[in-house]
């Protein structure tokens, strides 16, 4: 996998492959993924998608009593 920070992922298959998910899962959650649209195409920078994933996976620490 090319890890260049400016790599553009275009299409549902590339986004799904990068995330390790199925395209069906990407279709279900596409409204919450910050993609750019050009006609019927969707695209996002690989670095932007990685940052979005990091932001979504942060969990709040709970205090144990």
| Position 36 confidence tier, pLDDT thresholds 50, 70, 90 | very high
32 CB neighbour count, 10 Å cutoff: 9
* Residue 51 or residue 1, greater confidence: 51
**Can you give the pLDDT at residue 21?**
96
Residue 16 lies in a domain: yes
At which residue do the structure tokens 């298959």 appear?
A: 13
Which residues, listed in sequence order, are joined to residue 10 by a DSSP beta bridge? 43
What's the CA angle centered on 54, arms 34 and 44, to 5 degrees?
A: 30
By residue range, what is the domain housing residue 34?
A: 8-57
Residue 2 lies in a domain: no
Q: For the chain, how many structural domains are there in total?
A: 1
pLDDT in tens, 12-24: 999 999 999 999 9
Model-level pTM?
0.75
Residue 29 lies in a domain: yes
Chain Cα centroid distance, residue 51: 8
């Amino acid at each position: 996998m090319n890890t260049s920070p400016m790599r553009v992922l275009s299409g549902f298959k590339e986004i799904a492959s990068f995330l390790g998910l199925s395209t069906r899962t990407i279709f279900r959650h596409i409204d919450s993924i910050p993609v750019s649209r050009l006609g019927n195409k969707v695209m996002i920078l690989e670095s932007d998608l990685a940052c979005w994933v990091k932001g979504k996976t942060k969990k709040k620490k709970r205090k144990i009593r």
